[in-house]
Structure 1
């Protein structure tokens, strides 16, 4: 094992981002003039409670101090240039920045086990900072992604000196992030595990990723490609049940309970196409009303890098995490007036190109139902506002796990961030035309007579049956523009065994008719006048989710597959429809 091997990763990922950062800094300084010059950076090794030394870089502004302090911790030495630029920029506004490499990463001592040591090491580091003469008694934490986890995991035990947190693109519900109704997210967690294993191999990691997601049984990819077991990854792919000891006890169970114990204001950032969105929303909604009233939650049309991506345009969506953080810290640590409202959720409304402030989470007083039905004229189904009372009908298709439907856009994606991994493009992208594949069944509404804004989580309800003991069903909701092009809004998936959010396996007999509910992630999106709503039903969305083998049992241990005949039941006594939450202003 070579803990510094990740330093050899291609820097191409950072080049464009760094240029963008420098441009943002120049633009930011025009609106928010610096008050100081950067002075110097000092490297030191800080001892944790068990004696392990962690590489810590301290950035100072010009002047005598003492200063308010911003702490950021990271396990990614390959982005040190980015962290260095950010830290120096903070000093220009009168802050000392402490940037620390996690245990076992970069120049820090110890063994790297993802996530396990961050709470205790973070608290040890905070207590060390408090003792320093250059610290003036006011402190904050800042960070995105893993840097957001660094804050959530210790946020219930902060000393009084820590006045606020600035958490970007990370959530508190790890199980929900990793699984959706029993289906594992390869594009997030297999790609992350392969790039961040800490094990040095000669084969290209992107090639390994592409082989690993197709490997059956999946459980042994660590031994086959890296020559040793990754116990933490095996835990992820083996514990499908929310009721398992792995999820009910330990780190992830503790994390899910922390938000309700937080007592400092938070600035939380999320992206509609960020893979942590669902967990971020869960964390925010658990905060106490008092903390919410002092905090701010911003969700833009961004991917994990807080940038827009995809095939749509997002005017008026530019965002500078650093500028927002400086204004927030100036308020929380220096007592300056805050230029924006607190106690609100600000969301970008896609297709309207505008922002909207919500006094509470996205609550809707009206949910419009569109029922699935057959269209006797067109080669697709229909979405109707009124349920057909005619005799029940069945729409059937075959699902072959060896010929899956490939992912095309979406929010639960991450492999795109890794050079050479050939990850699926995230965000809203142009979809295939209706009828492209026989195992995708499309249902389309009538054109909308006026603009209607979706505000919240669309829910897809299906009455289905299959001829195997277990399988999966997918749902993708898109806007079909008047020019005939479709762009995805949201997608979701469910297995039969873990249907309807089940915490443990549910019984099923082949041929049995059952009702499924797939709750899609929330969004604010305006469907334009003349557009139509499109719903695609299938049984795979790979590699966003693992390919269901149509075999009962632990998915990661299955070697064989079956072809399944899937049936969607529509009409009279069946419950096949979608429920769309409408913005209050549309009611």
Structure 2
């Protein structure tokens, strides 16, 4: 009797999977897949040793190599449970020919790969597109033109404009953009994953480097064109023209199951992708858990969708029925089925900032001003929340130490007399003035329990360029689903940063990649009848 592979047993236990159909697999390595321009990309085929030919094929395309965690967590579970799997290294990565230029070549290369697959003797007449993050973007890149053999797609923690959301001019996501650039820059080095995790202190120094255009040298010891492009070109720059897949969303007819997380960096874009599919008359699925980008729950849920939703469509049958949208309601700590996103039955409720650090439903009757000093040399830190880089804690954490800082204002409600459920979009309107024209406004909503522990739920940041004039800062926070329990309090934080989740605002107006100086700013938050600063939460209305 053959001993089960240790990797198979570890994955089964880690992902809480039922026993596989088989653990006896064959791996054909370095298959050469020709592209229309003559470039050859490499791929590995995983399949059951017995009966593998003719099974549905799960296609995964990405720049993260074809071994290690990618093979163990993404490929092996599928190949042991009803699929054969083709894992391909995208252009310029993992031994594939050409140069890796993020987002640029995935459409034509993906379509050429599908065409090649359909001609292979082992092909089984059906393909399921699968994978998270960049592997999800490669799905979207071909989805609107994929041939009939593609029966389903399962993009997780990803979106059609992958990465461009990091590059907002008014809120540059330094940690995600820079961290991903460093990760890709290390891919071709030996022990890449270990090097990345062990390089956290060096990345921290790099994120503090001025000018930021030198940060790649600090982190990698060499120039990275990917990082330079991220720093120099914001999301609206012509440089990124044609580098996203958003224009084709309404034309996608492939059944799609989207897996997202409340603390994932791509959440807002993924929800937009779902809404556009739904508006176009499609019937996509959406599952949103209390996950960050690399949470184990993403992997296990994505696999569940592949083995249920994906295999059913691959075999020409209907998957088990469920509601279109399933979300995890934090606070209640339970799943909830919804008919759509955003769901009906929730309306914006204004909670007003008031003097004395109070937060109330009633509007203020007297004017007030609260102030703090923001120093880029000691930037307000990012604590939990929406993070992508491994090794930096994401999601819900204790905010007590953060709220004790002098550069963080807090506004807190009285204990709630009844439960309050919010599901949907969250926004803030903060009347703000700075001593400098250039300043950021960061807003976070927290749940304060009866033991005074403050836990973050959602947040967002916007940048101002005329901050020395009193104006209303419009801040978009990440969507959420949360139940504030009776006896708990709602808290709103206002500050001017969350470093390194967002880059430090130097206060000088210099371009972010070129700034060499920093200036301390004195900030003011105004509230009152003439300047009603408030948070807007989507509160349930049918109680």
Give the Cα–Cα distance (whole angstroms) in 1 for the partners of residues 463 and 73 of structure 2: 45
Give the Cα–Cα distance (whole angstroms) in 2 for the partners of residues 54 and 565 of structure 1: 54
Residue 127 of structure 1 is matched in structure 2 by: 115
Residue 449 of structure 1 is matched in structure 2 by: 417
1:277, CA displacement in angstroms? 1.2
1:164, CA displacement in angstroms? 1.2
- Local SS of the residue matching 2:292: coil
- Structure-to-structure mapping, 1:409-420, within 5 angstroms: 409-411=384-386, 413-415=387-389, 417=390
- Local SS of the residue matching 2:11: helix
1:97, CA displacement in angstroms? 1.4
- Structure-to-structure mapping, 1:114-263, within 5 angstroms: 114-174=102-162, 177-179=165-167, 182-198=170-186, 205-223=199-217, 226=220, 228-240=222-234, 242-247=235-240, 249-252=241-244, 255-263=245-253
Deviations 1:94-152 (A, max 9, x none): 42211112222223233222332222211111000011122232211111111111101
Deviations 1:417-457 (A, max 9, x none): 1xxxxx43100001125861221111001111111111012
TM-score, normalised to structure 2, is: 0.91
1:517, CA displacement in angstroms? 1.1
For 1:269, which of 259, 271, 274 is the aligned residue? 259
For 2:304, which of 317, 320, 323 is the aligned residue? 323
Residue 483 of structure 1 is matched in structure 2 by: 451
TM-score, normalised to structure 1, is: 0.84
Deviations 1:47-93 (A, max 9, x none): 22222222211123322743322111121127535425643432344
Residue 298 of structure 1 is matched in structure 2 by: 287
- Structure-to-structure mapping, 1:472-551, within 5 angstroms: 472-497=440-465, 508=466, 510=468, 512-551=469-508
1:283, CA displacement in angstroms? 1.4
Regions of 4+ moved over 6 Å: 16-19, 201-204
- Local SS of the residue matching 1:427: coil
Residue 349 of structure 2 is matched in structure 1 by: 368
Unaligned runs of 5+ in 2: 1-5
For 2:509, which of 532, 539, 552 is the aligned residue? 552
Q: Which region of structure 1 is more displaced relative to structure 2, 44-53 or 351-360?
A: 44-53
- Structure-to-structure mapping, 1:272-421, within 5 angstroms: 272-289=262-279, 292-293=282-283, 295-307=284-296, 319-341=300-322, 344-363=324-343, 364-375=345-356, 381-390=357-366, 392-411=367-386, 413-415=387-389, 417=390
Q: Which region of structure 1 is more displaced relative to structure 2, 78-87 or 355-364?
A: 78-87
- Local SS of the residue matching 1:141: strand
Aligned length: 529
1:565, CA displacement in angstroms? 1.2
Give the Cα–Cα distance (whole angstroms) in 2 for the partners of residues 477 and 109 of structure 1: 47
The answer to whether the 8 A contact 1:264-1:291 is kept is no
1:40, CA displacement in angstroms? 1.8
Deviations 1:502-528 (A, max 9, x none): xxxxxx273x11111111111111001
The answer to whether the 8 A contact 2:383-2:402 is kept is no
Give the Cα–Cα distance (whole angstroms) in 1 for the partners of residues 138 and 189 of structure 2: 25
Give the Cα–Cα distance (whole angstroms) in 2 for the partners of residues 542 and 188 of structure 1: 11
1:26, CA displacement in angstroms? 6.5
- Local SS of the residue matching 2:441: strand
The answer to whether the 8 A contact 1:262-1:291 is kept is no
1:57 matched to 2:44:
yes
Give the Cα–Cα distance (whole angstroms) in 2 for the partners of residues 93 and 448 of structure 1: 48
Residue 571 of structure 1 is matched in structure 2 by: 528
The answer to whether the 8 A contact 1:471-1:551 is kept is no
Give the Cα–Cα distance (whole angstroms) in 2 for the partners of residues 307 and 221 of structure 1: 31
Give the Cα–Cα distance (whole angstroms) in 2 for the partners of residues 516 and 335 of structure 1: 51
The answer to whether the 8 A contact 1:347-1:356 is kept is yes
